[in-house]
């Protein structure tokens, strides 16, 4: 299960970090920006590390289902973000709290 989270997380954070850079907020957005990106890629699952692992059919099916569920969750998350774009003044939200 950890492999699944790590492997899908690499895809997720890779895309969010690109968005953070495009917004000029790569440093401010800790979880979605450079810091988390570097932490994730410093210990991420690499497919070739598991190329020799053989899975039983039922386990393979369970893993495929988990990957599908995680990516479907990412789709819902990104759709929500897109739907609410422009709704909040992010510059104001990122101001330090006094």
Q: Positive or negative, the Cα torsion across 15, 22, 89, 31? A: positive
CA neighbor of 85 nearest in space, from 8, 22, 1: 22
| CB 8 within 8 Å of CB 70 | yes
- In a domain, residue 38? The reply is yes
Residues of the chain with pLDDT under 50: none
Q: How many domains does the chain have?
A: 1
Q: For residue 52, tell me if it sits in a domain.
A: yes
pLDDT at 69: 92
Record the pTM.
0.62
Whole domain around residue 68: which residue ranges?
Answer: 2-93
- The 10s digit of each residue's pLDDT in 24-44 is 888 888 888 899 888 887 776
Check residue 8 and give its pLDDT: 79
In angstroms and rounded to an integer, the radius of gyration of the C-alpha atoms of the chain is 17
Positive or negative torsion for Cα 17, 18, 23, 24: positive
Indicate whether 98 belongs to any domain: no
The reply to whether 21 falls in a domain is: yes
């Amino acid at each position: 299960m950890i492999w699944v989270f790590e492997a899908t997380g690499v895809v997720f954070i890779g895309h969010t970090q690109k968005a953070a850079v495009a917004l000029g907020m790569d440093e401010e957005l800790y979880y979605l920006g450079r810091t988390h990106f570097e932490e994730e890629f410093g210990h991420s699952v690499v497919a070739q590390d598991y190329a020799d692992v053989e899975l039983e059919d039922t386990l393979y099916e369970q893993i495929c289902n988990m990957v599908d569920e995680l990516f479907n969750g990412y789709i819902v998350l990104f759709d929500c973000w897109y739907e609410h774009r422009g709704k909040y003044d992010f510059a104001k939200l990122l101001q330090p709290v006094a």
